[in-house]
Amino acid sequence: METSTSPTLLSRARANRLASTFTLLTTLTVGVLAGSVLTRDVGAKEQKVDTSDARPLVIPDPKTLSNGFSTIVKQVGPAVVNINTETIAKKAAVTSKTRRMPRGANPNGDQGDMQDFFNKFFGGQGGDGEDDPDALGGERQALGSGFIVDPRGYIITNNHVVDKADKIFVKLAGDPDDGQRLQGRPATVIGVDPETDIAVIKIDTKTPLPTIKLGNSDSAEVGDWVLAIGSPFGLSQTVSAGIVSAKNRSIDDRDPQSGLLKQFQKFIQTDAAINPGNSGGPLVDLAGNVVGMNTAIYTQSMGSQGVGFAMPSNILAKVYNDLIGATHKVIRGSIGIQFQASTASAVSRVYGFANGGVIVGQVTPNGGAAKAGIKPQDILVSINGHQIKDGDDLVNDISARAVGSSVEIGYLRDGVKKTANVTIGDRAKVYAEVAGTDAEPDTPASVDAGQSKLGITVRAVPAAIASKLGITGAVSVDSVTPGSFADEIGLGKGTLIVEINRQPVTDEASYRAAIARIKNGDDVVFVVRDPRNTKGGNSFVGGTLR
């Protein structure tokens, strides 16, 4: 009985399931068809809408869209060039990598807390644009920009774009671009000036080339619109816009041999985007005149962060005229001294030159100042009767004078005014004589005298080290208490103290005696030396003790 009825129930269940499925599919099909009908009905209604009142879109006349920027680019763009260089790695350099130190780094390789750095850019798309040569002596390529200032083919660019290059190629704005990086016209170097990072190169031409005019950079004002034109990352004829952000900016760029700051690099700062490859390109004003040459950026990423620097056109013009002259070099005057670029107000008060002047840190042996009897810590106050305002004023005056000429220098020594006739020497030769070497002081016992007042402990400097530095004696800072007076004024560990408030410090006893004279409210000035540089000269650090 059970066996005969079971298949019947199973058949009914299957039949009911098929019926349900068919009903569901039928319902979905009807829904889809209904949707299609409704959609087709809606589309038909849209097509019947009257659009006779709709106005067609009109593309305006291109001249209506033009602005001052595009007019300037059309005017000056043809004179902006792309520069490619090729350097064949020398076998002597195969065993080690050679890279230019990032701006802001310590000459001994220690960047300390410096995260941002200045970096001159060679224009490659990786790092600083320099490709390391391979072990067999490969090629190193660099990329930059420049601009034509003479229709006979004379071009201004950065020295670091062409420095040490074996081959230089220039691609004009109108030259075809077939993708070859080194495609272009061969160029020769006319002259370079490392002090300002300016170079003049030339290409041969049978027909006059388009040129760009130099403006007067003194007329550029903070807030003025400017355009940067060049070849960032090899992308030629790239234009970026910004404003003049600041003027007369100095950056920590040092001579690689002497370690001295390059005093002739005073830049126009701009927020116009400048990237690797823009180096040597023009910064132009709204009159289409060059007010600067793009030279450096302040960056953490090797790209533009809105802080770029351009060499002012007034400096460009002077250096260019010297480089195309008979000697093809810039000759600057020097009296053979070194001084600290900036000092605390306490220093000027203690040494008596609050109204202007320059305190001598070091006198170069056999230089004009040394022969005239000027000594370290003399305060130079006048040149031929004209007051010296600051270090820049002194350098600008002396550097412009002819080598071999003489000037009357007025100076103060222990508060007494004196004069000396000083012969102007060749600045390049003076720089060649100023080079330092590292020194490792021994480690005698630390002295804690003055720790409670100043926040430092010191140790005596061995006689051998003092002799090598050319001093009679000193103490070396062994430790600095964070937040102390010494910490606040920047008196760092390892610094050699040779004088405190005009009192010589030659040993522990003289150091203690000088500290004993100091009380709260006093101006305290330290004369210090860098132990790593045997010819670095004196620096002055000071502040008011509270």
The residues annotated as belonging to the active site are 160, 197, 279
DSSP per position, 138-175: -EEEEEEEEEEEETTTEEEEEHHHHTT-SEEEEE-TTS
End-to-end CA distance of the chain: 115
- Picking from 514, 485, 482, the residue whose alpha carbon sits closest to that of residue 497 is 514
Hey, what are 276's tokens?
């690797």
Contact 364, 230 (CB under 8 A): no
Q: Amino acid identity of 275?
A: N
Hey, what are 105's tokens?
């780094």
Contact 228, 169 (CB under 8 A): no
CB atoms within 10 A of CB 277: 29
C-alpha 203: how far from its chain's center? Answer: 28
Backbone CA torsion sign across 230, 231, 233, 239: positive
- Picking from 174, 167, 172, the residue whose alpha carbon sits closest to that of residue 184 is 172
Strand partners, 265: none
Q: Amino acid identity of 478?
A: D
CA distance 296 to 270: 11
- In angstroms, what CA-CA distances link 484 with 41, 314, 344, 456, 495? 85, 44, 17, 8, 16
CA distance 139 to 379: 51
CA distance 516 to 192: 54
Query: What backbone phi and psi angles, to 5 degrees, belong to 35?
Result: -60, -40
Q: What is the dihedral of CA 329, 311, 163, 427, to 10 degrees?
A: 40
Contact 222, 249 (CB under 8 A): no
CB atoms within 10 A of CB 442: 12
Locate tokens 């190193």: which residue?
A: 140
CA distance 6 to 279: 94
C-alpha 135: how far from its chain's center? Answer: 31
CA distance 408 to 421: 5
Contact 338, 529 (CB under 8 A): no
Contact 358, 379 (CB under 8 A): yes
Backbone CA torsion sign across 353, 355, 357, 362: positive
Contact 510, 504 (CB under 8 A): yes
CA distance 309 to 119: 11
Q: Would you call 62 helix, strand, or coil by DSSP?
A: helix
